[in-house]
Amino acid sequence: MDISEIEHLFKHNNWLDQLPLHVIQGLIAVSKLKVLNKGQILYAKGDSADGMYCISKGKIRVSNVNSQGKEMVLTWLENGIWFGEISMFDNLPRTHDAHADEKSHLLIVPKLAFQKLLQDNPHFYPYFMRMLCQRIRVTFNLIDETGGLSLLGQLARRLILLVNGLHNAGQHQKTKQIGISQESLAHMINSSRQTVNKLLNQLGQKNIIKVDYGMIEIINMQELEALCEI
Amino acid sequence: MDISEIEHLFKHNNWLDQLPLHVIQGLIAVSKLKVLNKGQILYAKGDSADGMYCISKGKIRVSNVNSQGKEMVLTWLENGIWFGEISMFDNLPRTHDAHADEKSHLLIVPKLAFQKLLQDNPHFYPYFMRMLCQRIRVTFNLIDETGGLSLLGQLARRLILLVNGLHNAGQHQKTKQIGISQESLAHMINSSRQTVNKLLNQLGQKNIIKVDYGMIEIINMQELEALCEI
DNA sequence: GTTACACTGTCGCCAATTTGACAATCTTTA
DNA sequence: TAAAGATTGTCAAATTGGCGACAGTGTAAC
């Protein structure tokens, strides 16, 4: 990964891109690269944080384990996504587990460097206040839009969430494919594999999605969005 | 409401109480009082924000209307609770509706005054960054802990949430009574009044809670917490 | 006080969902 | 390539939960 590629990662973020170029370059100078192999853990819930991450390649699974020991996946994060900023800002433990689902390349902005940046340049605070507010709005949305939906509605909402990402709005949409097993999907909406299988195939017959082995592709996004109303 | 009472409201908040006394007094000087009658609306989702609130008396219902037109209640807020800070910090519309469920007295800290405070004193930013992070952590918890629970588990979780408050941690616990109809509770966990009624009475027979007209009292908090594992 | 309204308790029926089971298909690993 | 493991498709039986109905009880308003 060369410098221009790294700069691009910063420019891709709605908040970091507000920083003057020389500040970005300062952050890049102290940032580190990290490569995770498939299945490797990045951090666990409760870990203390070393910094904030951006994915330059690969896929990270953000999840935690519920009281029955079942893994509940919050979301997957992919190229260009920044994450892990909460613990960086408040110095408290990680809220989730993060695993690499495939070989992944990450950029790490160290916590101390970032905190020093803010300390030395308090006028940058508002950018990151807004960044945090945005996170809150997204999670509120998740809570609100899930409540009151039928199972089919929840499934549709979840599929959209999985392609668009739980992360910050305004991303240019990539492929509309989701690599996920029906069992994982079932876990996410607190349902059974069999029911999810039935519902997915119903959507498949209506040509709204295409169901494959370990893979779902969204064909008709409008229809899917309409289903989120039920 | 006299000055010392208002000062107490500021001291009650984990973040505001970090501000020097003269700053608090400055904020109090520009704050306004507002009285809402029962049923009156404080703001609606989408409204632009005038500031941040604290309840000195009464009860505020935070909710929104889902796509089927059903009201989904996120939480109730009571004495001493600060809320409405998101829109104040990011200048974006309100995320929820807020209604007074009974005659309520509010303190309003105007947005402009607060923004000026931060502009003039950037070293206060970190307090409020942490405040926002705390909100994110609480909402993540709500999402994570609800997922994978049985209906009974969700109900137990919700009851605990309602006495402890969805708001920031570290509040000294008041009475363990919740004034709420079983129908409202049902809405909150996306279930039916009848089912909630049955579950509540089961908990009542086990002496975990006490069920009354429009009122639920938690008797055995430990047992209730244990139920959040199923 | 009494009338209207809101809330609770409890049916029974019916639809939706879970669960366990098993076979078929796809992918990965040895 | 073959074997092992993961994922999907499908059934039937058992369970859960939603919904309408209606009576009983508590609260508020006039």
Q: What is the pLDDT of residues A37-49, one digit of tens each?
A: 888 899 999 999 9
The domain that holds B199 is classified in CATH as 1.10.10.10
Strand C: which nucleotides have any atom within 7 A of a protein Cβ? Answer: 6-12, 16-21, 26-27
The pLDDT assigned to B169 comes to 44
Q: pLDDT class for A168, splitting at 50, 70, 90?
A: very low
Q: Which of B126, B135, B143 is facing A142, going by the closest CB pair?
A: B143
Query: Does residue A142 sit within a domain?
Result: no
Last residue of a domain, one of B121, B140, B164: B121
Distance from CA of B42 to the nearest CA of A (A): 19
Q: How many domains does chain A have?
A: 2
Same domain, B10 and B101: yes
- B139, A143: Cβ pair inside 8 Å? yes
Query: Does residue B133 sit within a domain?
Result: no
- A95-99, A124-128, B214-218: range with lowest mean pLDDT: A124-128
The pLDDT assigned to A126 comes to 87
The pLDDT assigned to B168 comes to 46
The domain that holds A89 is classified in CATH as 2.60.120.10
Q: Both tokens of residue A150?
A: 């039928």
Residue of A212, A211, A192 lying closest to A202 (CA atoms)? A211
Which nucleotide is at minimal CA–C1' distance from B214? C7
How far is residue A148's CA from residue B75's CA, in Å, rounded to a whole number?
15
Same domain, A114 and A177: no
Farthest CA pair distance, chain B: 58
Same domain, B40 and B98: yes
Same domain, B47 and B88: yes
Distance from CA of A30 to the nearest CA of B (A): 22
- A8-17, A139-148, B83-92, B184-193: range with lowest mean pLDDT: A8-17
* Unique residue bearing structure tokens 């499934």: A155
The pLDDT assigned to B22 comes to 80
Residue of B95, B23, B18, B17 lying closest to B54 (CA atoms)? B17
Same domain, A40 and A81: yes
Same domain, B15 and B88: yes
Q: Which domain holds residue A104?
A: 3-121
Query: Does residue B37 sit within a domain?
Result: yes
Query: Does residue B31 sit within a domain?
Result: yes
A150 touches strand C (CB under 7 A): yes
> For residues A132 and A52, is the Cβ–Cβ distance under 8 A?
no
Same domain, B101 and B173: no
Query: Does residue B93 sit within a domain?
Result: yes
Range among A98-102, A196-200, B10-14 rated most confident: A196-200
> For residues B31 and B107, is the Cβ–Cβ distance under 8 A?
yes
Residue of A94, A188, A67 lying closest to B225 (CA atoms)? A67
Distance from CA of B203 to the nearest CA of A (A): 20
User: A69-73 contacts: CB < 8 A, separation 24 or more?
Assistant: A70/A187, A70/B148, A71/A187, A72/A187, A72/A188, A72/B144, A72/B147, A72/B148, A73/A184, A73/A187, A73/A188
Q: Which of A86, A123, A134 is facing B137, going by the closest CB pair?
A: A86
pLDDT, mean over chain A: 86
Query: Does residue A184 sit within a domain?
Result: yes
- State the average pLDDT over residues A91-104: 91
| CA/C1' separation A103–C6 (Å) | 59
Same domain, B112 and B7: yes
Query: Does residue B132 sit within a domain?
Result: no
Same domain, B173 and B91: no
- A13-17, A55-59, A118-122, B102-106: range with lowest mean pLDDT: A13-17
User: Considering the entire predicted model, what is its pTM?
Assistant: 0.88
The pLDDT assigned to B210 comes to 95
Positions in chain B whose pLDDT score sits under 70: 1, 68, 165-175
Residue-wise pLDDT tens digits, B219-228? 999 999 999 8
Same domain, B154 and B98: no
Same domain, A172 and A108: no
In 10 A of CB B153, how many CB atoms?
Answer: 21
Which nucleotide is at minimal CA–C1' distance from A152? C16
For residue A93, is pLDDT > 50? yes
Last residue of a domain, one of A121, A140, A168: A121
Same domain, B12 and B110: yes
Query: Does residue B189 sit within a domain?
Result: yes
